[in-house]
Amino acid sequence: MLVGNRRSTARASTAPAQRVTVSLYEKPPREEMTLEEFEVFAVDRLKVLRTIDALRQKGFKPKELEAELAPVVRELLPLAAAGPQAPSDARKDSVSHFILRLAYSRSEELRRWFLTQECALFRHRLSRLRGDGFARFLREHGLKFEEVPDSERDARVSSLARIKNYENVPAQTATYYRVPFLEAIDLIGRREVYLEKGYAYVPQAKLHSIVVSRFRASLSRSLAKASGSLAAAAADPRLGPLLTNVEKHDLERQDVDDDDIEGITPEQIDALADQSMPLCMQQLHYALKRDHKLKHWGRQQYGLFLKAAGLSMEDQLRFFQAEFTKIMTHDQFSKEYAYNIRHRYGKEGKRTEYSPYGCYKLVMDMAPGPGEYHGCPYRHFDADHLAAVLSKTSLDAGEQSLVLGKAKERNYQIACQRHFEFAHKKQTVNGKKVVANLDGVGNHPNAWFKASRVYHQDLHAAEHPEEAAAKEAEKAKGIAAANQSQVEGMVLAN
């Protein structure tokens, strides 16, 4: 035994020290860094937080969320416990947290969003601690909990045995901790603790929830304090643009261009608005047709959407001109509005290609003012207005109620998804199943539009099989001709 202890001691002294990777972010970092690092760190963390939000919006269960989130965190915010990479990982994690904490302190809504996602990330990291990692985390951060003596546990064993016990540890031998019940609200809701005289008796395996609760309370206070420091930090011309615009960073540039289906023309837009546009774009289209104008952000939101939907610059000019010139001259339209349309397509100014706005931007950063129709209807319409709009859609009363309920719960993107599902139900036509692809629906208006167009194309093909077969044959013939022309060109070149 003596020799064994010596060997263990020797191994411990030569083993590389492991750091506690999970942080409570109690002290801001004090170090120099480049502006490029500042932005990269902030954006990488923002990608992780937006991923968490998207997974939660899609209704992922905790274990599913953990599995989906793990590779994203591993890629963008790794936390090595040992080795040469550990210090730089810890630095990026700390710096990125404090940057976003400051940036997201600007409003109550932004603070609430940041708090929710950061707590989810914190919970995820706690769940990944292995071995004595959680115990070392508690020791390093001075987190102490009152352990229930065996005599008290035994006196309450019949009550403790009724707690939901996923670990199958007998109540007679389990370790319990006594904490104020306000710190165990999540566990109380799931009936995973025993309550007595204002205290919750928490199984050791459930301490994670208590630690997350303390982290949430601490971070909430810190966000309130940070809001008082934002103005001074934003006054720095180097940091100001980053701090005040980081939450607007477009991270939703996904495959929303309709490359696999035909582009659109101005003549098709009215029908497509009724059939395939999400509610946000429908409202802009109907306002344009009614008022023959849209204010700046409405034109920008709708114009970029139509661009990604496959409308050419020339056709977009023609489309908006046809409406606007019902209340103004052609010369006035050319002078005041044509430049912005060409600018959207990268033909003016810096010649930048602009991406269409995703749902996150519409929900968080596009609140409309009087006489404006941009933004997200599920987020920005009041309940009566949204109910009136939904009553004019193809959804029945029960479906409308479910969508309204999700919007009321602030699950705006889920409300949008449910709307899509109700409007694009699974069908079997002439023995062929027609099923909509939900990828991206609820995350981007163009993803909704693209999925809807594909669904209706498939539905039309199922209803008219001869016409669909003729189109496929014509398409195959065109591909064969193109391939033959390419081969002939290669032969001539040689």
Please say whether the beta carbons of 414 and 406 come within 8 A: yes
Q: How far is CA 407 from CA 45, 133, 411, 422, in A?
A: 27, 40, 5, 15
Cα torsion at 252, 254, 258, 259 (round to 10°)?
150
At 328 the pLDDT is 96
At 7 the pLDDT is 33
| CA-based R_g, the chain, Å | 29
What is the distance between the alpha carbons of residues 20 and 417, in angstroms, rounded to a whole number? Answer: 40
pTM tops 0.85, yes or no = no
Angle at 201 between CA 197 and CA 203, to 5 degrees: 175
The DSSP element (H or E) to which 464 belongs, if any, is none
At 313 the pLDDT is 95
**φ/ψ of residue 247, rounded to 5:** -70, -15
Please say whether the beta carbons of 35 and 238 come within 8 A: yes
Question: 458 has which bridge partners?
Answer: none
At 166 the pLDDT is 59
pLDDT in tens, the chain (494 residues): 233 333 333 333 344 455 667 899 999 988 888 888 888 899 899 999 988 988 887 778 888 888 899 999 999 999 887 788 888 999 999 999 999 999 899 888 889 999 999 999 999 998 888 767 887 888 888 888 888 888 888 888 888 888 876 556 777 878 888 888 888 887 888 888 889 999 989 887 788 888 898 899 999 999 999 988 888 887 887 777 777 766 656 555 444 554 556 789 999 999 999 999 999 999 999 999 999 999 999 999 999 999 999 999 999 999 999 999 999 999 999 999 999 999 999 998 888 778 899 888 898 778 899 999 999 999 999 999 999 999 999 999 999 999 999 999 888 888 999 999 999 999 998 888 888 888 778 889 999 999 999 999 999 988 888 876 777 667 666 666 656 666 555 555 55
At 253 the pLDDT is 47
At 245 the pLDDT is 67
At 317 the pLDDT is 96
Can you read off the two tokens belonging to residue 171? 């109540």
Can you read off the two tokens belonging to residue 28? 């801001």
What is the distance between the alpha carbons of residues 79 and 88, in angstroms, rounded to a whole number? Answer: 9
At 249 the pLDDT is 60
At 479 the pLDDT is 60
Q: What SS3 state is found at 375? A: coil
Please say whether the beta carbons of 365 and 297 come within 8 A: no
At 144 the pLDDT is 81
CB atoms within 10 A of CB 406: 19
